[in-house]
Structure 1
């Protein structure tokens, strides 16, 4: 059996959970940024398609 007390073990678990929460929040922010980038890219592509379809033939 380890010499750590229950309080020390609980504190260690709480610290790991805090770190996991921080990483989860960071990953969420990255995913949101990628999603936003994809939406902007689609919008720009749609605008290009509209411009191309509105141009008169040569």
Structure 2
């Protein structure tokens, strides 16, 4: 049975709407932040690292 509590992988917001990538929830606010963040923004590396964990971290599978 699927867990009914949805928690954003990036910010930790609970019971949010958003997208699911590789089984991990990303809330709409973080999704928007990812889409609109430029390479030279201060949040870029943190967001990039979070996405890399979702996509490539074998330990979480």
Structure with the higher fraction of residues in helix conformation: 1
Question: Is the shorter-chain TM-score for this pair beyond 0.5, marking a shared fold?
Answer: no
Q: TM-score normalized by structure 2? A: 0.26
- Flag the structure with larger Rg: 1
Structure with the higher fraction of residues in strand conformation: 2
